A and B are shown apart, each in its own frame.
Chain A
Amino acid sequence: MAVADSVGVPSDATPRPGPPLWLLLELTYRCPLHCVFCYNPTDFANVGRELDTDQWVRVLREARALGAVQLGLSGGEPLARDDLEIIAGEAHALGYYTNLITSGIGLTEARIAALKSAGVDHIQLSFQDSTREMNDFLSSTRTFELKAKVAALIKQHDYPMVLNVVLHRLNIDHVGDILAMAERMGAEYVELANTQYYGWASLNRAHLLPSRAQLQRAEQVTQEFRARLGERMRIFFVVPDYFETRPKPCMNGLGSVFLTVAPDGLALPCHAARMLPGLDLPNVRDVSVQSIWYDSRAFNRFRGEGWMKDPCRSCPQRTRDFGGCRCQAFLLTGDPDNADPVCDLSPHHHLVTSAVAQAERGSAEPGPAERGAPTPGERPLIFRDHRTSIPVSSR
């Protein structure tokens, strides 16, 4: 087994994986917004040049041949690529179901019409909050009115509307207003996605983690909307895993269904996996998608159970949660083979509970004057930006 591991071949106990059903193309890390909770790598400014159109099309073709069918076009802001329509058109011709994941910035009437005729199936639009003040503060832009216009365009072009709002301490108390806004806009789906603490969000965790009381109120309000609206507006509430005692089955296990290709062509088993040490991630410029998915050491590294340590190794939950999130295990404990510390069986669980306890102590909602202002012993909110990218990441 040690030998098999060293050449990246799964052991006999690991069955051949199924196809990469879900393909996420992060077309660019360029983005007009500067969100404090962005999961993009904090050193994105150091990432090499973007793949060109032909290279993206080749990735689409190779992954589709393996069985990929759900496609996310994301970023950064994918509209920053002026070949988005070409890429979307190729994806449609190949038979993908194409999800455009966007802030809406740059989605003009002409571009939405072109994307519709290229065959984009659905547009997921992000909002930062229900109010102009908070939306614009959290993204460090003046974009609220623009997003509202884009929401109307999405309806006019007969798309199912999916609104995505990332929740955290500064906006979670507005869930009622956020859902009312979604209802007015005629959203079919709303994703209330509590912040996951990777990338920029990890830097800003002390500002963003809500209190348990805030979380419970938000869930209650969500239930009231669900009871009233039923299937008309489906609401997904993604619980922040710091408040759980069992970890999420992250990516259904790395290398099981999910493949991300980053702007520079790096292939990742999860969009945050660039941070994992020693993974030796393959690049689509050098290797075929088939070889990456089935043969690369990086994609085989966390398949099966051979990599697990105690307590996961002997835990009956391991077939359900796969030990949780490898990136979170690495970020919090320094070792990606450890149990995700969200799990209360993890010897590192106190790292999560102490962060939650700290959030409880600082849970009073800050007034507008305090937002983003440094408090004693705490660094200020860091906005995702080229200027902050390099110094932050070299800390």
Chain B
Amino acid sequence: MTAITRKPAIGHGFRLQWEPAQSAHVLLYPEGMVKLNGSAGAIMSRCDGSHTLEEIVADLEKTFGVRGLSGDVSAFVSMALEKNWLEMR
């Protein structure tokens, strides 16, 4: 299947940005806003449509000096896809 090669990106009509006043990444959409926690922000900010899930996991593990993030990241991405926060390209 194409699941391995497909690349998550911010969903149509959503915008991700860092807000200094809230010290957080926020996800903006029509008349709404989700304030992301640190892990969610770290994952979402790497979903730029040019990296596969596997590459994103590798980058996160390297950045935070930990291993075994694949399960947590996949679970978050599935949830975010369901909410249309992310889409696969």
Q: State in angstroms the CA–CA spacing of A159 and B84 once bound together.
A: 15
Least CB separation from A164: chain B residue: B31
Whether A231 contacts B84 in the complex (CB less than 8 A), given A69-B28, A122-B30, A189-B30, comes out as yes
B17 within 8 A of A: yes
Q: Interface digits, B1-41 against A, CB 8 Å rule (1 contact, 0 not)? A: 00000000000110101011110001011111100000000
Least CB separation from A20: chain B residue: B21
Q: State in angstroms the CA–CA spacing of A159 and B30 once bound together.
A: 10
Number of residues on chain A facing chain B (CB within 8 A): 19
Q: How close is B36's CB to chain A, nearest CB, in angstroms? A: 13
CB-defined contacts of A159 to chain B, threshold 8 Å: 13
Q: State in angstroms the CA–CA spacing of A124 and B20 once bound together.
A: 28
Least CB separation from B18: chain A residue: A95
B28 adjacent to A231 (CB under 8 Å): no
Query: A160 touches which one: B17, B20, B30 (CB < 8 A)?
Result: B30
Q: Interface digits, A154-193 against B, CB 8 Å rule (1 contact, 0 not)? A: 0000011010000000000000000000000000110000
Q: State in angstroms the CA–CA spacing of A350 and B57 once bound together.
A: 59
CB-defined contacts of B32 to chain A, threshold 8 Å: 70
A124 adjacent to B30 (CB under 8 Å): yes
A99 adjacent to B31 (CB under 8 Å): yes
B13 adjacent to A188 (CB under 8 Å): yes
Q: Interface digits, A65-81 against B, CB 8 Å rule (1 contact, 0 not)? A: 01101101000000000
Query: A66 touches which one: B13, B21, B28, B33 (CB < 8 A)?
Result: B21
Q: State in angstroms the CA–CA spacing of A375 and B26 once bound together.
A: 52
CB-defined contacts of B13 to chain A, threshold 8 Å: 121-122, 159-160, 188
CB-defined contacts of B84 to chain A, threshold 8 Å: 231
A39 within 8 A of B: no
CB-defined contacts of B17 to chain A, threshold 8 Å: 69, 95
Query: B15 touches which one: A67, A97, A162 (CB < 8 A)?
Result: A97
Query: B31 touches which one: A66, A70, A95, A231 (CB < 8 A)?
Result: A70
A162 adjacent to B31 (CB under 8 Å): yes
A70 adjacent to B28 (CB under 8 Å): yes
Least CB separation from A98: chain B residue: B28
B33 adjacent to A231 (CB under 8 Å): no
CB-defined contacts of A124 to chain B, threshold 8 Å: 30-31
Within 8 A of B (CB), among A115-132: 121-122, 124
A67 adjacent to B31 (CB under 8 Å): no
Q: How close is A390's CB to chain B, nearest CB, in angstroms? A: 33
Q: How close is B31's CB to chain A, nearest CB, in angstroms? A: 6
Q: How close is B13's CB to chain A, nearest CB, in angstroms? A: 3
A21 within 8 A of B: yes
Q: Interface digits, A229-270 against B, CB 8 Å rule (1 contact, 0 not)? A: 001000000000000000000000000000000000000000
Q: Can you list 15 pairs linking A and B with CB atoms under 8 Å apart?
A: A67-B19, A67-B20, A67-B22, A69-B17, A69-B26, A70-B31, A97-B15, A99-B30, A99-B31, A121-B13, A122-B30, A159-B13, A160-B12, A160-B29, A231-B82
Q: Show the binding face of B for A, using Cβ within 8 Å.
A: 12-13, 15, 17, 19-22, 26, 28-33, 82-84
Apart from A19-B22, A70-B31, what are 12 other A-B pairs with CB-CB below 8 Å?
Answer: A19-B21, A66-B21, A67-B19, A67-B22, A70-B28, A97-B29, A99-B30, A122-B31, A124-B30, A124-B31, A160-B30, A188-B13
Closest 5 pairs (CB-CB, A-B): A67-B21, A160-B13, A97-B28, A122-B30, A19-B21
